Amino acid sequence: MAAADVVAQIEQGYKKLQEASDCHSLLKKHLSKEVVDELKNKKTKLGATLLDVIQSGRLSMF
At residue 57 the predicted structure's pLDDT band, cuts being 50, 70 and 90, is: confident
Q: What is the pTM of this model?
A: 0.85
Which tops the pLDDT comparison, 60 or 6? Answer: 6
Cα→Cα distances 19→15, 22, 48, 49, 62, Å: 6, 9, 26, 23, 13
* 19 pLDDT higher than 70: yes
- What pLDDT does residue 61 have? 62
- Domain of 38 in residue numbering reads as 4-59
DSSP secondary structure letters along 1-36: ---HHHHHHHHHHHHHHHH-TT---HHHHH--HHHH
Which 3 state secondary structure label does DSSP give 53?
Answer: helix
- What pLDDT does residue 32 have? 96
- What pLDDT does residue 59 have? 67
| CATH code for the domain of 37 | 1.10.135.10
Closest C-alpha to 50, from 61, 20, 33 = 33
Q: How many domains does the chain have?
A: 1
